[in-house]
Amino acid sequence: MVEGFNNNNNSKISGFYVFGDSTVDPGNNNYINTPFKSNFPPYGIDFPNHLPTGRFCNGKLATDYIGVKKSFLPPYLDPNLSVEELITGVSFASAGSGFDQLTPSISNVIPIGKQLEYFRECKNKLEVKLGKEATENHIENAAFFLSAGTNDFVLNYFTLPIRRRTFTILSYQQFLIQKVKDFIQDVVAEGARKIAVAGVPPMGCLPLVITLNSNYSTDNGRECIDQYSSVARDYNNLLQQELHLLELNLNNNISSPPKIYYVDIYAPLAQMIQAPQTFGFDEVGSGCCGSGYIEASILCNKISGACSDPSKYVFWDAIHPTDKAYHNLFWASIPIIDFIINN
């Protein structure tokens, strides 16, 4: 384990605060009125006590492995959270959310802007407990993580006609990245100084995307749809460039400048898909749950069932990685995690 994470005595990170979509939502959707939930079996079958927590996974998310002084990162909306848990860190993320304000409205989930409001609420609670100066110091030494964007493309732009009427794919990518930059500037204004932003995965390799876009009469079968993955690559490249420029701009205008880090999830996941045996996987074209082709959320349930060994699958359901795949993504991010801790 990386020095400083899951380490009570030596942590250089005071807390860990997470925003985004289902890739980092440990169960906030349990507490809102949305059909996009996963707090029922077979979700959670490899979580401690086989508990379906609301994570869209058979076990942990990558952010659970990057916990600070705790084994699992809890959802902010859990009414039983103590102030002490708020201090060490929580996730404000909501499965189905995205940077485009239209995206969370599709499934009635928590917009990124609302997640930021929840953080401000959390910050006020910390000030009551710690005092204003101690809270400011705490926030300055905490790590902030943002992971979203896939829903904006897969569930919104490519599925609904609304955005395609007014945006080309390039202008939509730029639109989303401006939303990312707006979020970063807002969280910096709240005192954040260590901010990591994840790119999007090879979207064309998601089992659901393959199902909806494949011609099964061909000999190719269930292959990744490069149209989607190409969009992801272009978006990630633009995102990295804009994050670098934003950091330079903030460094010139803030006395205590923030550090902004890009986290590549595309390459590690693509490697698992392209060379599965290297990582101990047997199946990459379908998820473990049900047929593996379309099941996610309410379609992945007790009746649909699950495979006997999720560790052999890259994907748990038709959209989300397995615990093992998330664990691999965590280890692939070790260099950037270590850099965040020590800078």
Q: What does the pLDDT read at residue 290?
A: 95
Q: Which of 21, 64, 100, 317 is catalytic?
A: 317
The residue with tokens 């100084």 is: 193
Residue 221: both structure tokens together: 């079968």
User: Is 210:285 a contact under the CB 8 Å cutoff?
Assistant: yes
Confidence (pTM): 0.94
Q: Block means of pLDDT (10 residues each) for the chain, length 343 residues? A: 37 90 98 97 95 97 80 94 95 98 97 98 97 97 97 97 96 98 98 97 97 66 91 98 96 86 98 97 96 95 95 98 97 88 78
Active site residue 320: yes
16-203+226-273+327-342: which CATH architecture? 3-Layer(aba) Sandwich (3.40)
* Distance from C-alpha of 254 to C-alpha of 252, rounded to nearest angstrom: 6
Q: What does the pLDDT read at residue 66?
A: 83
* Distance from C-alpha of 60 to C-alpha of 28, rounded to nearest angstrom: 15
Q: Which of 11, 14, 22, 333 is catalytic?
A: 22
Residue 115: both structure tokens together: 């997640």
CB within 8 A of 251, min separation 6: which ones? 257
Active site residue 327: no
Q: Which of 64, 229, 320, 333 is catalytic?
A: 320
Active site residue 22: yes
Q: What does the pLDDT read at residue 341?
A: 78
Q: What does the pLDDT read at residue 70?
A: 67
Domain boundaries, the chain: 16-203+226-273+327-342
